Structure 1
């Protein structure tokens, strides 16, 4: 079983990126890296996502490349074959979790309830994605989970912004947060890589104080 702790410690913010056009993949990744963010969770929400993932993995080696929105074992296999260095799922089933753990890459399974956290713990994992963080209860909910289950580290994602990220990051059971605000669709579509670099730079320097 690959350890996901190193994934959670790369950056205080993991960009959650969705790309419609693979031609944008390398420029987006380079813009994030130029801003000091060297990790991406690329969602498999578009038909060309695997193409974008492969391009980034091959052409921007400074980026730790992850695949998100893993829903099936087949998607997990395809993502790893395309170059994914870690896998993220929005939720998890026993079958999907077992398969992802067999692939020898770090895994961040999605959880939203105490029961789901306990089920993933039984698999031997103590690093998880908390999703959807905002609607599921936010920092107060994660703080409450940390009382009876202090040995789990989370990457909350969903409804988080630069303004709210510090509220999560100050919690002892939060290592980093995931955010889609670093790569706004409008900036990607007009090729405003400087804006993405500026957003990345702010995210890389986010403080809990």
Structure 2
């Protein structure tokens, strides 16, 4: 994970869907809408198959895997081509993976632990629980920690999280609703991605 690239793009699309008809087409649709960081999750059935297809297609997206809870999941994701991993909480066994790892955290102590474990970035989850002001507060003791906002981030509040100090935000069902993904409505995915990125463009 190149943090300066993520800081420039500012948005990661988090895909949670019961079915993904064409993972490569989904990535291409997101890229067409301005989102080039994609996180598939282990909550999706047959994740590694989707991951391999998306990576092999060469869409230009940086493709990672989230909801990684164990070392075994981390190994499977990396073997399938994941370029980065994301956890929902602090998971030391995942932090040792050979690709950049974003560790989830919420409290100041968890942020410190994630940083000590060598996290490439720290995902504050669920961000909506405390709102953008919490990121400004965390910047006091952790001015150099790259923080991502995840959980409850929308086009209406994304810019607020970024202005408060988040390096980037994670866009979920507002951009990639499970029903839209399952229906393979890639034009709608592009439309939603374009609308989300436009909402944060003023801070680029």
Same fold (TM over 0.5): yes
Q: TM-score, normalised by structure 2?
A: 0.90
Q: Which residue of 1 aligns with 2:83?
A: 85
3-state SS, counterpart of residue 170 of structure 2: strand
Is the Cα contact below 8 Å between 1:109 and 1:129 reproduced in 2? yes
Q: Runs ≥4 in structure 1, deviation > 6 angstroms?
A: none
3-state SS, counterpart of residue 199 of structure 1: helix
> For structure 1, which runs of at least 5 residues remain unmatched after alignment?
none
3-state SS, counterpart of residue 159 of structure 1: coil
Map 1:66-81 to 2 at 5 A: 66-81=64-79
- Structure 1 residues 66 and 7: alpha-carbon distance in aligned structure 2, compared to 1, 3 A threshold: farther
- Post-superposition offset of 1:125: 3.8
The number of equivalent residue pairs is 201
- Structure 1 residues 190 and 126: alpha-carbon distance in aligned structure 2, compared to 1, 3 A threshold: closer
Once residues 151 and 69 of structure 1 are traced to their aligned partners in structure 2, the CA distance between those partners, rounded to angstroms, is 25
Structure 1 residues 62-71 or 126-135, which shifts more? Answer: 126-135
- Post-superposition offset of 1:120: 1.8
Q: Does 1:142 align with 2:140?
A: no
Q: TM-score, normalised by structure 1?
A: 0.88
RMSD: 1.8
Deviations 1:53-92 (A, max 9, x none): 1110111331111101000000000001101001110112
* Match 2:42 to one of 44, 62, 74: 44
Map 1:1-209 to 2 at 5 A: 4-6=2-4, 8-9=6-7, 11-97=9-95, 99-100=96-97, 103=98, 105-125=99-119, 127-135=121-129, 137-171=130-164, 173-180=165-172, 181-205=174-198, 206-208=200-202
- Post-superposition offset of 1:176: 0.7
- Post-superposition offset of 1:9: 2.5
Structure 1 residues 81-90 or 187-196, which shifts more? Answer: 187-196
Is the Cα contact below 8 Å between 1:167 and 1:208 reproduced in 2? no
